[in-house]
Amino acid sequence: MPQAEVSQRRERRADLPFAAVDQYQVGGRPLSAGNPVVTPRHRLADGRMRTDAVRALVTGASGGLGAALVAELKANGAAVIAAGRDAAKLSALGADATVAADLTTAEGVEAVAKAARAFGCNALVNNAGIGAFGLFDDTDWSAIAQLLETNLAAPMRLTHALLPHLKSLPEAAVVNVGSTFGSVPFAGFAAYSAAKAGLRGFSQALRRELADTRVAVIHLAPRAIDTPLNGEDVRALNRALGNAADSPEAVARTAVEALARGSAERHFGFPERLFAWINGAAPALVDRGVAGKLSLIKRHAPARVS
């Protein structure tokens, strides 16, 4: 679909009962990439939205989950602008538009925000992130700083850049892709857990701050995902711990459903949802449980992370 074209498709997946919407001209001007306002006219009683009204910016789109999110959104009628560092991989996604940029730089954030505004983005999906497995004192500070910049500062900064635009629309959403470790911080992932816990706190605080606007803030907390983000050491640890891993396609389906439903928080998998609740109510129980696995975690941890 050309960048300036607003999708008129009405097909939808049977398992995602999105609300019907009509598209209008605004101020006598036809809808376009620069004027893509989509006004809901008919909604289901539970308020679910229809994804062919969505024009989504997906960051980290050249990675495993990012590519699956682009494909799932497109399959449900959304228009997508894909952002990432690898221009060649982005061009192979079949997105409506792409922008190659480094979100850990001010120039990269501004380039992506400018492209998203021109595209008429009404849904920001903060998916870009990096992993880091290793004991905290065996990890170089440069690696920790890069992780915090990529996984926490960059999504906050991009949201900050796009929020005035999103607030100007009749309806918009910010979707932050976190992790189970944001709710259940885990040994061997101290910096990663800190970044994801920060992203969850940011999501909750921003949702409450925007309660009097039409901008929804959605936080997703997947468990382990079977993507290249997890190296062989993490895969080996998950096998040793008996942890389940979901496919990126399965996570993307749940993420798009959460967007359609406007779910404030979505934790993926069991027993991970239970552990998140226990850690909030009685963290000492989780402390003891993780302590019993500590020797196994240390055995799989890399000698040095740089």
153's CB contacts (< 8 A; 6+ apart) are: 104
Annotation says 192 is catalytic? yes
Taking alpha carbons only, the member of 166, 66, 165, 85 closest to residue 125 is: 66
Stretch (H or E) spanning 55: strand 55-58
Burial of 52 by CB count in 10 Å (0-12 exposed, 13-18 middle, 19+ buried)? buried
Rounded distance between C-alpha atoms, residue 137 and residue 161, angstroms: 34
Phi-psi region of 27 (alpha: psi -120 to 50; beta: other; left: phi over 0): left
Q: Residues 119, 181, 192, 202: which is the catalytic one?
A: 192
126: buried, middle or exposed (CB in 10 Å: 19+, 13-18, 0-12)? buried
Picking from 251, 176, 256, 254, the residue whose alpha carbon sits closest to that of residue 210 is 176
Strands in 123-126's sheet, in edge-to-edge order, are 97-100, 79-84, 55-58, 123-126, 172-177, 215-221, 265-267
In whole angstroms, give the CA distance from residue 31 to residue 37. Answer: 7
In this structure, are residues 221 and 246 in contact, taking their beta carbons and an 8 Å threshold?
A: no
Residues recognised as catalytic: 192
